[in-house]
Structure 1
């Protein structure tokens, strides 16, 4: 796939990447269906609701579907995220989620870019920094510590969720740290998931300590992961980008195809 037309890319995104279901399933993670909706439980951060589309559900039937998910997770005492894309139908889905007690979080932009040109760039990091692939728990703990510092909240769930993914299939993702060569402090990190049966790999993470921003580390992590994707035969990269990373990715050739907003219900 080399066509960078946004409409073509959006169709590929819907067809190949939705619904987002871990494969293989990490230990303790369960996937169930409720009509067109896929419900995922057992993640360290709470539940997750995803779908390709809602089979045309509207009105009372849609409200009943939403209420069942809210009540299910209320019974478990767990938060749950409903991932809503801007092009999802019906148009009033966000309003119905809010009416049921789901709270919208900051939206992200879904971007897609071609692996070839991205992999052609050398992953250049500033002096005093090195990139290294990791999978040991101690390294995941260092990543979580860095993420917690950047976002000012507890990101320890990353240790559990990434660790379970690696244990289930270490070839399904690669985790990379950018760390100081002296002392080994993690200053940034990113991981790439390889979606079996598709042309897509997806990029995650990318948070960077403030004192190391605007020095090329994020771009280097993108290039490094693009090379990994190319070596495994993937032709496209997908990212759910924050407002901070979106401009960088667009300059690198990524195309905006839609936006996504997490709607979170917390019992």
Structure 2
């Protein structure tokens, strides 16, 4: 067994389905699928058991799942999360024919939390006036959300902000971390423990354009890793864009598979 194989097995057994929908408003099971509805009418489909399913069954599964959401007038869009290592015949083609559009693929990264605290640039950044800390108030989370939208060049998503504020209020273990320059938030990310496992997820990491390339994302990641280690966690996972993947690879994380979200909009 290789480390890659061990991590991929852990991913399939511990990080799929239920952990992915823990913040949903409602969750349903449809055969091998887990269907969820998130605030704002956002549907979500994930699974962990379509391997070696016939193409005809895949077609029926996709049609049944889409019908489940179409029949609910409050649903505005549906994301179907796929994984490259699954043996699900023609799933990508079937989703496309059903009206789903593939978005940018992301790398599923897994590794030891201890790797993320090595070579932490925080001391050097502190000398430049850039600090990293955890935030805990609604006002701070609102400011973090606004910064993230600015960093991505997008309008702020009110539904997504509502989800973040809901996570803050629920005290479900999610932590919000930011980097500040002269008390202005310039980078941000979340830490989400996976209940019943030794894993945490690190998400976000958006950084204002003027502050990129200075090690701020690495410092933000190291701070989250130290917090998770203090809570007794050992491993980390993240769905990473091509911006953050190389940074995590340099920190020792391994790309175990690729995930591509497919989006259907009413």
Normalising by structure 1, we get a TM-score of 0.90
Deviation at 1:121, TM superposition (A): 4.8
Distance in 2 between residues matched to 1:197 and 1:263, nearest whole Å: 29
Distance in 2 between residues matched to 1:252 and 1:86, nearest whole Å: 23
Contact 2:192–2:202 at 8 Å: present in 1 too?
A: yes
Deviation at 1:131, TM superposition (A): 1.6
Q: How many residues align?
A: 260
Deviation at 1:171, TM superposition (A): 4.5
Contact 1:104–1:264 at 8 Å: present in 2 too?
A: yes
Equivalent of 1:31 in 23, 27, 31: 27
Distance in 1 between residues matched to 2:172 and 2:130, nearest whole Å: 25
Deviates more, 1:97-106 or 1:127-136: 127-136
Structure 1 residues without counterparts, runs of 5 or longer? none
2:246 alignment counterpart: 247
**Per-residue Cα deviation, 1:62-86 (whole angstroms, up to 9, x for no partner):** 2122112222333334201111010
Distance 1:147 1:25, change over 3 A: closer
Distance in 2 between residues matched to 1:4 and 1:142, nearest whole Å: 43
Equivalent of 1:72 in 68, 87, 104: 68
Contact 2:19–2:194 at 8 Å: present in 1 too?
A: no
Distance 1:25 1:246, change over 3 A: closer
Distance 1:263 1:150, change over 3 A: same
Distance in 2 between residues matched to 1:106 and 1:45, nearest whole Å: 22
Q: Match of 1:21, SS? A: helix
Distance 1:24 1:263, change over 3 A: closer
2:160 alignment counterpart: 158
1:226 alignment counterpart: 225
